[in-house]
């Protein structure tokens, strides 16, 4: 009787682990979709500013998140199959993929953290140079478009202030048409509106575009990090549950 009771308890434990892993896998799959969505959203939101960033680290972190999220979605289906079929080989593969995804997200997190630490300094060094040396020059149309979008979207003018444009190759050239700032600095963009730099005509954001762009990128890094950490915690739980279920199935096979 006691032997039957113990066997029955073992069966219930296995069933409990299966359902627990099944529920976990559902949330893990949803988390994968969330990670992929955050990566795509990050690239879509900042795609217009990629051309004026000196480093590709931020974009690489987002691409890694998209890749990891896609892998999570695929792995999620494998997890459902492994639980339903109760195959140890599938569970082993599932565990290996969970570990691989965890390591990928760890790399993305480290890259994002490193970029966050040097974000302000990079923007200070690079943005002013980009504005003064590359704006509206031949072959630099993509950079010009990015800077125009930056100034309009964040309602700013110049890297630190509108006076940064006084050293711009474009403003100093005859191509500027006597403008003192690009037309994209204007609150209401019209042809040659950049001839007047009065506060009533152009944006005078405190700290310039550097402050606005730095805050924008920092916010995105924070969201990327939060989502990545949340899914990583789920993965650790999933790996533990997978090990327990794999062990139970191995014991029952004897």
**pLDDT tens digits for 173-226?**
988 989 999 999 999 999 999 999 999 999 988 888 988 888 887 787 777 777
| pLDDT for res 56 | 66
Sign of the torsion formed by the C-alpha atoms of 196, 201, 204 and 208 = negative
**pLDDT(8) > 60:** no
pLDDT per residue over 241-250, tens digit each?
778 777 777 7
pLDDT averaged over the chain?
A: 80
| pLDDT for res 106 | 77
**pLDDT(160) > 50:** yes
Other beta carbons within 10 Å of 37: 14
Closest CA to 132 of 162, 177, 174: 162
Tell me which of 254 and 51 has the higher pLDDT: 51
Phi then psi dihedrals of residue 179, to 5 deg: -75, 150
Model pTM above 0.75? no
Residue 122 banded pLDDT, cuts 50, 70, 90: confident
Closest CA to 212 of 133, 171, 155, 147: 155
pLDDT per residue over 42-63, tens digit each?
777 666 676 677 666 667 777 8
């Amino acid at each position: 009787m006691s032997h039957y009771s113990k066997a029955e308890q073992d069966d219930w434990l296995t069933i409990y682990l299966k359902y627990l892993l099944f529920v976990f896998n559902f949330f893990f799959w949803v988390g994968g979709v969330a990670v992929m969505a955050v990566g795509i959203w990050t690239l879509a939101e900042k795609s217009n500013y990629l051309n004026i960033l000196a480093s590709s680290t931020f974009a690489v972190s987002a691409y890694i998140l998209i890749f990891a999220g896609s892998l999570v979605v695929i792995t999620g289906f494998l997890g459902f199959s492994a639980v339903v079929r109760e195959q140890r080989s599938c569970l082993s593969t599932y565990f290996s993929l969970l570990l691989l995804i965890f390591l990928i997200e760890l790399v993305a997190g480290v890259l994002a953290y490193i970029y966050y630490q040097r974000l302000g300094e990079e923007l200070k060094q690079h943005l002013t140079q980009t504005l003064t040396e590359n704006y509206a020059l031949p072959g630099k149309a993509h950079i010009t478009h990015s800077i125009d979008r930056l100034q309009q979207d964040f309602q700013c003018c110049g890297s630190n202030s509108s006076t940064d444009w006084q050293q711009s190759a474009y403003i100093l050239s005859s191509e500027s048409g006597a403008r003192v700032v690009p037309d994209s600095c204007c609150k209401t963009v019209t042809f040659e509106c950049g001839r007047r730099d009065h506060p009533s005509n152009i944006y005078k954001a405190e700290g310039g575009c550097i402050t606005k762009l730095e805050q924008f990128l920092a916010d995105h890094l924070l969201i990327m990090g939060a989502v990545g950490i949340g899914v990583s915690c789920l993965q650790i739980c999933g790996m533990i549950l997978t090990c327990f279920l794999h062990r139970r199935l191995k014991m029952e096979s004897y």
